[in-house]
Structure 1
């Protein structure tokens, strides 16, 4: 096995342990491998370990990697029966890059304004399934972080849910690093509470099912707070 496959196993063990600590089913937490700045070979290695969900922050780099991996995907899939690869855009999106995202990615987790969602909707090719969307929420008001303000998230969710070619799946957050586990749990709990609040409002065509939060350093706290998807890069691929 490669180092990446070993690392994947270690991350899955962390997820299982974190779920056991708070009485959750490990199957309720999905792992998104953040492959930004790592090449197609690293993705192929992770695929050999059964990983099928990959996140990219930089759109141009991500598209080039998607195309390269797709050329080799048929051979790579013979190494595992886990199914085709799913690509998530998790970085900020400028208006001039929405077409690339709409044409190549399966998910977008970083929608934070209606204009971007509208462009993604208009540019999603008709032959592809709806683009799966999460709203990025700036849950702690970090001055350098993207994301819709929590008080504006419900209105944005209503607007995005009405757009054709998109399916609203949930929320994503990247809070500032916390001092300790308790503080990290409290930050993630804010996003979980907002997620529940939007679902309880009953204004969406269907309830959101994805709460994307937690990374290498804080995945245990995020799972404690209710995360359904953790985004892990360093613990899988190594330092950038």
Structure 2
């Protein structure tokens, strides 16, 4: 299906390509990258309490000549802050750092440590009811945790942010989320650079005269997955943005689907798998 620069936002309001900001902690570089991306056309910015850059992300949004209401802004509550009182306190602090009255999407960063489904999601429901967040998200949730969250929260679970790329396609988890009407958002969509060295992806990139990064991002889009690649320099920000107009044919998708590697890049001790 052909997609153009005007086709950057799903009907649910979330743009299909966003800017990830993990490890972008240099204040000027982070704010500058966010502003550059927004001026270029990005309308989805992702951060987290644990990234320690919410203030810089907020600065970048403020610098750009893009109305706040046009920016889909997401952040995440860290695993130490998932008790109800901490959810409220740290979310209010996140909003202050970001310089906004509300975020479009707030994730439970991991189902770990202080996470208790009823108490944590109850606190998220309260934030939702109070208008401090527009959508509730979960992150790094496996199928069992997804089902539990859907059954526990009063507000809809909007998205599950997971590691997803051609080396970790997450077919079962994506299907489970689809069954529950939950969007999938892919972090590390370039497998932390590994996609540049995969022969199948290299071949598709050469065929279309594009980068391996664009191929990986276009492949995720074909799977109805929203990608939030991290980028810092303008060249990488622009290259990722160009993936919107790359149309992979069935042969391209099949070639990437056939990659015989399964590699997880993010695997902390507290992960649920």
- TM-score (normalizing by structure 2): 0.52
Task: Tell me the residue number matched to 1:116.
Answer: 120
Q: Which has the higher strand share?
A: 1
1:89 lines up with 2:71 in the alignment: no
Task: Tell me the residue number matched to 1:171.
Answer: 160
SS at match of 1:232: coil
- Could you tell me how far apart the structure 2 residues matched to 1:100 and 1:224 are? 36
Task: Tell me the residue number matched to 1:225.
Answer: 223
- Could you tell me how far apart the structure 2 residues matched to 1:110 and 1:237 are? 30
Count of matched residue positions in the alignment of Structure 1 and Structure 2: 180
Distance 1:116 1:225, change over 3 A: same
- Could you tell me how far apart the structure 2 residues matched to 1:62 and 1:125 are? 26
Distance 1:47 1:148, change over 3 A: closer
Matches of residues 105-184 of structure 1 in structure 2 within 5 Å? Answer: 105-111=103-109, 112=111, 113=115, 114=117, 115-123=119-127, 126=130, 128=131, 130-136=133-139, 147-160=140-153, 162-163=154-155, 167-175=156-164, 181=166, 184=168
For the aligned residue pairs, the C-alpha RMSD in angstroms reads 3.6
Task: Tell me the residue number matched to 1:10.
Answer: none
User: Following TM superposition, by how much is the alpha carbon of 1:123 offset from its aligned partner in structure 2, in angstroms?
Assistant: 4.9
Query: Residues 32 and 55 of structure 1 are in contact (CA less than 8 Å); yes or no, is this contact kept in structure 2?
Result: yes
Task: Tell me the residue number matched to 1:212.
Answer: 185
- Could you tell me how far apart the structure 1 residues matched to 2:163 and 2:51 are? 22
User: Following TM superposition, by how much is the alpha carbon of 1:151 offset from its aligned partner in structure 2, in angstroms?
Assistant: 2.4
- Could you tell me how far apart the structure 2 residues matched to 1:171 and 1:59 are? 17
Query: Residues 135 and 171 of structure 1 are in contact (CA less than 8 Å); yes or no, is this contact kept in structure 2?
Result: yes
Query: Residues 92 and 110 of structure 1 are in contact (CA less than 8 Å); yes or no, is this contact kept in structure 2?
Result: yes
Query: Cα deviation per residue 1:27-63 (whole Å; 9 max; x = unaligned)?
Result: 5461110123142122111121122211113447333
- TM-score (normalizing by structure 1): 0.58
- Could you tell me how far apart the structure 2 residues matched to 1:66 and 1:100 are? 16
- Could you tell me how far apart the structure 2 residues matched to 1:123 and 1:90 are? 13
Distance 1:62 1:119, change over 3 A: farther
- Could you tell me how far apart the structure 2 residues matched to 1:87 and 1:198 are? 23
- Could you tell me how far apart the structure 2 residues matched to 1:83 and 1:156 are? 28
Query: Cα deviation per residue 1:139-167 (whole Å; 9 max; x = unaligned)?
Result: xxxxxxxx33312321211212x15xxx4
Unaligned runs of 5+ in 1: 1-18, 137-146, 200-207
1:32 lines up with 2:18 in the alignment: yes
